[in-house]
A = this chain, B = another copy of it.
Amino acid sequence: MPGTPSARYAYLGPEGTFTEAALRTLPAATHAELVPAASVGVALDLVRRGEVHAAMVAMENSVEGAVSQTLDELASGDPLVITREVLLPVEFALLVRPGTGLAQVGTVASHPHAQPQVRRWLAANLPRSAWQPASSNAEAARLVARGEVDAALAGEFAAARYGLVVAARQIHDTPGAVTRFVLVARPAPAPPPTGADKTSLVAFLAADHTGALLEILTEFAVRGVNLTRIESRPTGRGLGRYSFSVDAEGHVLDPRLGEALMGLRRICADVRFLGSYPRADGEVPAVRPGTSDEQFRDAQAWLAQVREQGTG
């Protein structure tokens, strides 16, 4: 259905957000209906209720870190799975109404995540301006259009949508910053392995067990599975109680990852699978000696023979 006229995708709106830009990089989105949602939670609930095929949401940013709301929404409620990831360079522009000069900018609005990424630029170029939070960068642009603030920090692509112009480009403090978005759908078998895949999951620690994180990492390490992301999140049951949100190299159908997942399942209070999907960077993971698919298959055949015949 994706790619057909009837396909529907949700994203964190309003129109003009980086999330919409990420969604538009997908060929399947070209002819689809794109549905802005008021929050990550709303976007994911549209998926859960079957009102859209999938939703694009931000997962992490190379400067600001994890998007807690996305992690928490994926970790609770009805299960969802990630089927794609998209990496997008973060390139903030300062958007103003036509005719506004930098000297006239007294107030600047943006999503709170954006502010720390442009702090130094603002200090150097708009030292006297006041910052105001908005619920999204596109909403900030909308506030500019309505005259409620003087300028918005947003993607350049938002200017046309809100009748604004670009007063300054590429104003983020850290060059090369990247945001990672994921496309989230209802549970279904993962797309087939490509050889360069990631698997996301949430591991809930069993009780209040010191050393539990070390045990979790060991389950991965023993099977030669590398992690590309690990975030602790509070479980809401008190300080010091965590779950861990993890991205692992490999696909749920890989034997090494399958065995590691079973190990987690046994030692954790709960494990929530969040999908296997192709890596956006296409990087093929190095496989440690002793953990290749072929060695897993050989070992399984050997064990079967030992069990049946008493020798391998």
Residues of A within 8 A of B (CB): 41, 60-66, 68-69, 72, 79, 81, 87, 112, 116, 119, 131-135, 174, 176-178, 180, 187-190, 206, 210-211, 213-214, 217-219, 221-222, 226-234, 236-242, 252-253, 258-259, 261-263, 265-267, 271-273, 275, 289-291, 295-296, 298-300, 302-303, 306-312
A7 → chain B closest CB, angstroms = 19
CA A311 to CA B310, docked complex, whole Å: 37
Select which of B214, B253, B306, B311 is within 8 A of A221 by beta carbon.
B214
A86 → chain B closest CB, angstroms = 12
Select which of B214, B261, B275, B295 is within 8 A of A218 by beta carbon.
B214
Q: Are A178 and B239 in touch, CB under 8 angstroms? A: yes
A166 → chain B closest CB, angstroms = 25
Q: 20 other contacts beyond A132-B135, A266-B291, A271-B302, with CB at 8 A cut-off?
A: A64-B68, A64-B234, A79-B311, A112-B112, A112-B133, A133-B133, A133-B134, A174-B236, A180-B239, A189-B309, A218-B222, A222-B222, A229-B240, A231-B232, A252-B303, A258-B307, A262-B296, A266-B296, A267-B290, A273-B306
Q: Are A221 and B229 in touch, CB under 8 angstroms? A: no
Nearest chain-B residue to A60 (Cβ)?
Answer: B239
Nearest chain-B residue to A285 (Cβ)?
Answer: B210
CA A158 to CA B261, docked complex, whole Å: 48
Select which of B64, B231, B271, B273 is within 8 A of A310 by beta carbon.
B273
CA A309 to CA B81, docked complex, whole Å: 11
Q: Are B262 and A310 in touch, CB under 8 angstroms? A: no
A188 → chain B closest CB, angstroms = 5
A93 → chain B closest CB, angstroms = 20
Q: Are B259 and A62 in touch, CB under 8 angstroms? A: no
CA A275 to CA B190, docked complex, whole Å: 40
CA A58 to CA B62, docked complex, whole Å: 23
- Hey, which chain B residues are within 8 Å of A180, CB to CB? 239
Q: Are B303 and A265 in touch, CB under 8 angstroms? A: yes
- Hey, which chain B residues are within 8 Å of A188, CB to CB? 309-310
Q: Are B298 and A265 in touch, CB under 8 angstroms? A: yes
A309 → chain B closest CB, angstroms = 6
Q: Are A265 and B299 in touch, CB under 8 angstroms? A: yes
Could you name 22 residue pairs across A and B whose Cβ atoms are closer than 8 Å? A41-B119, A60-B239, A69-B116, A178-B239, A180-B239, A187-B309, A188-B309, A189-B308, A213-B230, A218-B218, A228-B240, A229-B240, A230-B242, A231-B231, A252-B303, A266-B291, A266-B295, A266-B296, A266-B298, A267-B290, A272-B312, A275-B310
